[in-house]
Amino acid sequence: MYDDDVKLLDGVKALRASEIHIVDVYSPYPVHGLDTAMGLPRTRLAICAFIYAMTGLAAAATMMWYMMIVDWPMNIGGKPSFSFIQNLPSFVPILFEASVFCAAHGIVITFLLRSWVLPGVSNKNPDPRTTDDLHLLELNLNDKEASEALKILENSGAKEINEK
Amino acid sequence: MNYDFTNRAKMITYVLMGIGLIAVIMGFVSGSHASWANLLASNFFFLGIGLFGIIFISKQYLAQGGYGVIYKRVPEAMSQYVLVGGPIMLFILIAGNHHIYHWMADGIMDDQSEYYDKIIAAKEAFLNKPFFYARSFIYVGGWMWAAYALRKLSLQQDLNGGIIFHNKSITAAALFVVFFAVTVCTSSWDWIMSIDAHWFSTLFGWYILAGLWASGAAALILFIVYLKNKGYLQAVNDNHLGDIGKWMFAVSLIWAYLWFSQFMLIWYANIPEEVTYFQMRIENYRYIYFGMMLVNFCFPFFVLASRDAKRNPGFIVTVAIFILLGHFADTFIMVMGGTVGAHWSIGFVEIGTFLGFLGLFLFVVQRSLAKASINIESHPFLEESVHLHH
């Protein structure tokens, strides 16, 4: 348990330097530089977003091509109704909206699934005070590491150390 | 440390300006009626980059932004072009009058004349010479004041430290932003849109703003990477480059959005008065028109979408060069389409004029960089900017 994010960062860095695996860190707000200090890989959510957007684009294009050109050509304001490419400008807003829709919903759902925050799932937070003003550093130690880790935690200014 | 404006660099700008001068003289000697339009297109393009310098500094002050402080001298130096390009703009408008602006021709608003044009005559309340020139003087005067004042306050801030000059800069920036928000629209109506006096578009001002912003961000990146390679601005790292890269990316998308919004509504409504603008350009400038769309939108979109690309100097410099060329093509089409229409060409005169203004712009920027220390000595957000981290 830490009450200061600078101390938390110091603790994380010291633990990583002595090669002790950190299970997770819980904090009430985003701590700047924590992800790099913990050595977390960069998120791949952006790549997902791109793939979802392209899916949305393709789906919308297929839908409009089938509805407006193939199945029942629509004459709206005398616009060329038998050609997808010549009628493209009027489809662009929908292509854009569908891409944004799919990307936005896709990444939210992916995020929820990946971090397993769903309705009815009980929370994994070991201490409710991390949602208020304290940071929590969770370690899973064997006996060999325990004494060293304890020393590091004390040195870095941990406010409270609990064992489970 | 001051930027060293070496003799070699000076020579290059002189040669470019010389080429420009020869090109302009050749243009006038050969009697090409595109000469004035050429001058307008090139000067407007670089004036826009200069204006970007002022916008960039102003928004940093107003939003209490810290990330751009260490390279603040660069947009400042860019903004100094307004002090040169502004008067040149006024000269082009006054000397070029009816060679550029069809609505300034004699008799066009006189219903007895054979040149009478009913649609243009109906716009006389706005499009008349005294009001037009008065407006132009106000725009240029206001911008020149902002470029001068922000630069001067920034140098005083360096000298004296403290917060007084910083607060003065915030006031100046606020005044400029309000003034610019109005004048960027009206000036683009006056200087560019009124070339096609029959045609109008309500979002034209934003379109121009997005265009000059994208080309300005591209120029800023080129200057910063150049200075860093020359051994200046060593504190600038990928985080800073990534930030300007994001600007270039985002503004290119806004530009494309506005381009399309303008095009799509007019294409959809299909009113003869409006569609001729696009019809003419698509018929006569087909390849550069769609080529510029590709370069200004698709290229930055796909290349700069990833985070690593925005932080890689090689990538962003390549994209920046293409964006600058693309946006010049855009300005060129806007101006040429209305003045010479189908009789356009790209030859020595056009490229030479562009290079001449490029030389003048580079000369002004480098001279301004050489005048004051390139490293910021004192600024409330200096520390934050040095330790910028994402």
Is pLDDT above 70 for B32? no
Least confident range from B199-203, B238-242, B345-349: namely B345-349
- pLDDT exceeding 90 applies to what percent of chain A? 25
A136 forms beta bridges with A26
Greater confidence (A45 vs A124) lies with: A45
Under a CB-based contact definition with an 8 Å cutoff, are residues A158 and A3 in contact?
A: no
Is B319 in contact with B304 (CB distance < 8 Å)?
yes
What is residue A7's predicted lDDT score, i.e. its pLDDT? 81
Where are the strands (E) in chain B, listed by range?
none
pLDDT of residue B116: 85
Q: How far is A111 from chain B (nearest CA, A)?
A: 19
Inter-chain CB proximity B305 and A77 less than 8 Å: no
Tokens describing residue A63: 């839908």
Q: Is the pLDDT of residue B137 over 90?
A: yes
Nearest CA-CA distance, residue A48 and chain B, Å: 12
Where is pLDDT greater, at A77 or B229?
Answer: B229
Amino acid B101: pLDDT: 87
Contact status of A21 with chain B (Cβ, < 8 Å): no
- Asked if residue B83 has pLDDT above 70, the reply is yes
Burial class (CB in 10 A: 0-12, 13-18, 19+), B260: middle
* Stretch among A89-93, B29-33, B107-111 having the lowest mean pLDDT: B29-33
Instruction: Assess contact for B174 and B62: CB atoms under 8 A.
Output: yes
On the question of pLDDT at B325 being above 80, the answer is yes
If you measure CA to CA, which chain A residue comes closest to B271? A77
pLDDT tens per residue across span B222-277: 999 999 998 888 888 888 898 999 999 999 999 999 999 999 999 888 888 888 88
Predicted pLDDT at A110 = 94
Contact B268 A77 (CB under 8 A): yes
State yes or no: pLDDT of B208 exceeds 90. Answer: yes
ipTM of the complex: 0.78
Residue A36 near residue B239, CB atoms below 8 Å: no
What is the DSSP annotation of B290-334? HHHHIIIIIHHHHHHSSHHHHT-HHHHHHHHHHHHHHHHHHHHHH
- Check if the beta carbon of residue B241 is closer than 8 Å to that of residue B70: no
Express each pLDDT in A118-140 by its tens digit. Answer: 888 887 777 888 888 888 888 88
> Average pLDDT of chain A?
85
Question: What average pLDDT does range B147-152 have in this prediction?
Answer: 93
Chain B residues touching residue A78 (CB < 8 angstroms): 270
Is residue B100 over pLDDT 80? yes
Phi/psi for A135 (5° steps) reads -105, 145
Cβ distance A46 to B267 less than 8 Å, yes or no, reads no
Output DSSP code: residue A24. Answer: E
Kindly list the residues from chain B whose CB atom is less than 8 angstroms away from the CB atom of residue A89.
260, 263-264, 267-268
Q: How confident is the model at residue B355 (pLDDT cuts 50, 70, 90)?
A: very high
pLDDT of residue B257: 93
Please check the confidence at residue B389 and state whether its pLDDT lies above 80. no
**What is residue A155's predicted lDDT score, i.e. its pLDDT?**
79
Is A89 within 8 Å of chain B by CB? yes
Torsion sign (Cα): A22, A27, A33, A36: positive
Which of A82-91, A135-144, B363-372 comes out lowest in average pLDDT?
A135-144
Query: What kind and span of H or E run contains A136?
Result: strand A136-139
Collapsed DSSP state (helix, strand, coil) of residue A39: coil
Contacts for A27 with CB less than 8 Å, ≥ 6 apart:
A5, A8, A34, A130, A135, A136
A 10 A CB-CB count for B116 gives: 13
The pLDDT tens digits for A46-64 are 899 999 999 999 999 999 9
CA distance B235 to B238: 10
- In percent, the amount of chain A with pLDDT more than 70 equals 100
State the residue for tokens 């301004």. Answer: B368
Taking the Cβ of residue A86 and every Cβ of chain B, the question of whether any pair is shorter than 8 Å is answered with no
- Contact assignment for A79 to B268 by CB distance below 8 Å: yes
What is the reported pLDDT for B377? 80
Can you name the residues that pair with A138 across neighbouring β-strands?
Answer: A24
**Contact at CB, B307 and A33, closer than 8 angstroms:** no
Give the model's confidence band at B10: pLDDT under 50 very low, under 70 low, under 90 confident, else very high: very high
pLDDT in the model for residue A32: 82
